[in-house]
């Protein structure tokens, strides 16, 4: 199977799937719903918690987070794609969630609060940016939870699985570099990060706790 080549265009303008096709995102990624819920469930959420939803997109994780943090908590949804955030805003307004703060910015440059937890759900390109991962982890309090999940390459012999993975993720991934182990940079910053493969090896769910000893690199 031929895999898409690596590129060096990150950050850049949003892919069409995150721009003109943003309104169709929820429907097109519906098959990932089960795994999205599994990723959110990895966070030890409590009432009143502050959660950074990295690359929040249309806000598909908001409802599940809201159920557990309640109106006294806060969701900080960060995304660089204005069309995706427009859908997220509509979702929050329709549900009456006044505790959702949306930040339009690349993750590495976003203004973030100190948070209790961070979620990286289906954001492969972000997870391959050391500056983005450092920026988020630096804003999670010591002892806070970090969860991640998304697609990955299955073993090379699993041709049918990888064909499905490619078809599902190609519209949403700019650079497939690191798609064998998408969590690698996060694991370097969150010692003890646990990783479980799902979807016959075509996906993963990862979770861990930010250490009080971790410090972002200078500069």
CATH code where residue 32 lies? 3.40.50.150
Task: Indicate whether 219 belongs to any domain.
Answer: no
Strand partners, 145: 117, 209
Task: Indicate whether 157 belongs to any domain.
Answer: yes
Query: What's the structural domain count of the chain?
Result: 1
- Residue 153, domain extent: 16-208
Task: Indicate whether 120 belongs to any domain.
Answer: yes
Say how far apart CA 19 and CA 215 lie, in whole Å. 35
Task: Indicate whether 216 belongs to any domain.
Answer: no
Question: What are the pLDDT digits (tens) for 115-173?
Answer: 999 999 999 999 999 999 999 999 999 999 999 999 999 999 999 999 999 999 999 99
Task: Indicate whether 63 belongs to any domain.
Answer: yes
Task: Indicate whether 132 belongs to any domain.
Answer: yes
SS3 5: coil
Is residue 217 pLDDT above 90, yes or no? Answer: no
Task: Indicate whether 197 belongs to any domain.
Answer: yes
Task: Indicate whether 112 belongs to any domain.
Answer: yes
| 219 Cβ contact partners less than 8 Å away, ≥ 6 residues apart | none
Give the predicted TM-score (pTM) of the model: 0.92
């Amino acid at each position: 199977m031929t895999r898409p080549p690596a590129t060096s265009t990150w950050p850049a303008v949003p892919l069409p799937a995150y721009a003109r096709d943003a309104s169709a995102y929820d429907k097109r990624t519906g098959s990932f719903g089960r795994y999205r819920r599994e990723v959110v469930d990895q966070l030890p959420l409590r009432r009143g918690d502050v959660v950074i939803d990295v690359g929040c997109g249309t806000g598909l994780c908001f409802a599940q987070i809201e159920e557990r943090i309640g109106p006294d908590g806060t969701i900080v949804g960060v995304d660089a794609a204005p069309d995706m955030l427009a859908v997220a805003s509509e979702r929050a307004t329709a549900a009456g969630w006044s505790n959702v703060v949306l930040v339009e910015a690349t993750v590495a440059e976003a203004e973030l609060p100190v948070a209790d937890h961070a979620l990286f759900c289906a954001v492969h390109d972000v997870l391959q940016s050391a500056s983005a991962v450092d920026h988020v982890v630096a804003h999670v309090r010591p002892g806070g939870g970090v969860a991640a999940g998304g697609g990955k390459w299955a073993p090379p012999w699993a041709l049918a699985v990888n064909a499905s993975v490619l078809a599902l993720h190609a519209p949403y991934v700019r650079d497939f570099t690191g798609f064998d182990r998408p969590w690698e940079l996060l694991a370097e910053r969150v010692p003890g990060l646990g990783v479980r493969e799902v979807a016959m090896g075509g996906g993963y769910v990862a979770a861990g706790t930010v250490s009080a000893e971790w410090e972002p690199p200078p500069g």
